[in-house]
């Protein structure tokens, strides 16, 4: 079996699921999810509380038991040795594969049939080969809300452009503010200009935790719809609506990354911020698909 460690928000969870799903298909084995990190109440300091959300989609995975997880528990030295085994042309079982750095680690694709994977895996290079499968699975499992269903009709009928503006905990939590860049009004203005010049009668759909900031700081003459009804456990419906738009302008957020990646429009334009992190230790060279435009 493949066990994928699940932590972080929905966008992170989707990356962790997608790579685990790739490995399970490649190795013809089942995928299980270790959700214990989301249930850990001992973590100290300021952070955004997250809950398991992958069950909102038609995923092909089950929750790993404590006994199944226990089989992969290893010391730090043993984990390093497991990583080194990926470089050998021999299959080993029961490997614990800890992501060694942020950019694409191609040796992880060699993970054997019985592996535990622990990382963010934020690159489509880990799972692009099963894109069509993921597009089928990562749709809302249940009926969406009435308001979302109404917007879905409008989005499909217009030259719709999703705009994701993430501020919230990027501003309010110091550790996040030190770690992530915050997209500026200049970024959004430039992105809107670039996309809308190529569309006839574009309609902007703004998804944000601070819509008032966008209204005050980004001026546009295009029709603009603010999507504000999806909160709490329904926030995943924003990602679904983003994926239905003709084009996407994303923030440096894995949430809107997935909104754009799940967009099946062959002619879509995706605009992403060139700078994702403030810290230089994170190499984001493999984070964005090559077709996406960075501003």
Per-residue pLDDT of 76-103, as tens digits, reads 999 999 999 999 888 888 999 999 999 9
* Parts of the chain with a pLDDT under 50: 44
Q: Which of 265, 236, 267, 25 is nearest to 139 (CA)?
A: 236
Q: Which of 249, 16, 10 is nearest to 126 (CA)?
A: 16
Residue 275, pLDDT score: 84
Residue 91, pLDDT score: 82
Helices marked H in the chain — which ranges? 10-26, 36-39, 66-70, 76-85, 131-137, 146-157, 168-172, 174-179, 185-196, 211-217, 236-244, 254-261
Residue 138 lies in a domain: no
Residue 241, pLDDT score: 98
The pair of structure tokens assigned to 12 is 């992170």
**Domain finish residue from 84, 101, 133:** 133
Are residue 166 and residue 278 in the same domain, yes or no?
Answer: yes
Q: Which of 263, 262, 210, 207 is nearest to 238 (CA)?
A: 207
Give Cα separations from 252 to 167, 177, 248 (angstroms): 10, 12, 13
Are residue 156 and residue 267 in the same domain, yes or no?
Answer: yes
Identify how many contiguous H helices and E strands the chain contains and give both numbers: 12, 11
The CATH number linked to 211 is: 3.40.50
Max CA distance (Å), the chain: 60
Domain count within the chain: 2
Residue 8, pLDDT score: 92
Residue 23, pLDDT score: 98
Radius of gyration of the chain (CA): 20
Give Cα separations from 263 to 45, 159, 248, 259, 277 (angstroms): 36, 14, 9, 7, 24
Residue 111 lies in a domain: yes
Task: Give the domain extent around 29.
Answer: 2-133
207-237 pLDDT, tens digit per residue, is 998 889 999 999 999 999 999 998 878 889 9
Are residue 104 and residue 158 in the same domain, yes or no?
Answer: no
Are residue 147 and residue 290 in the same domain, yes or no?
Answer: yes
pTM: 0.94
Residue 10, pLDDT score: 94
Calculate the dihedral angle through the C-alpha atoms of 150, 153, 155, 158, rounding to the nearest 10 degrees. -130
DSSP annotation of 58: -
């Amino acid at each position: 079996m493949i066990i994928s460690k699940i932590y972080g928000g929905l966008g992170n969870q989707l990356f962790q699921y997608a790579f685990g799903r790739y490995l399970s298909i490649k190795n013809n084995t089942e995928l299980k999810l270790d959700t214990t990190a989301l249930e850990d109440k001992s973590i100290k300091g300021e952070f955004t509380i997250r809950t398991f959300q992958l069950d909102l989609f038609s995923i092909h995975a089950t929750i790993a038991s404590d006994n199944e997880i226990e089989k992969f528990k290893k010391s730090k030295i043993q984990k390093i040795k497991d990583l080194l085994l990926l470089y050998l042309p021999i299959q080993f079982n029961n490997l614990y594969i800890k992501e060694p750095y942020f950019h694409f680690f191609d040796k992880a694709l060699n993970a054997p049939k019985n592996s535990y994977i622990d990382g963010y895996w934020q690159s489509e290079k880990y799972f692009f080969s099963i894109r069509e499968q993921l597009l089928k699975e990562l749709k809302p499992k249940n009926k969406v809300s009435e308001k979302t269903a109404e917007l879905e009709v409008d989005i499909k009928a217009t030259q719709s452009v999703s705009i994701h503006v993430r501020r919230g905990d990027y501003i309010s939590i110091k550790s996040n503010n030190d770690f992530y860049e915050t997209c500026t009004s200049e970024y959004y203005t430039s992105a809107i200009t670039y996309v809308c010049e190529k569309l006839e009668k574009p309609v902007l759909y703004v998804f944000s935790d601070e819509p008032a900031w966008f209204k005050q700081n980004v001026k546009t003459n295009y029709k603009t719809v603010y999507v504000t009804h999806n909160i709490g456990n329904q926030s995943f419906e924003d990602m679904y609506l983003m994926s239905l738009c003709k084009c996407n302008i994303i923030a440096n957020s894995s949430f809107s990354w997935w909104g754009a990646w799940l967009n099946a429009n062959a002619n879509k334009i995706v605009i992403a911020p060139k700078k994702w992190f403030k810290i230089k230790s994170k190499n984001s060279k493999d984070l964005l698909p090559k077709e996406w435009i960075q501003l």
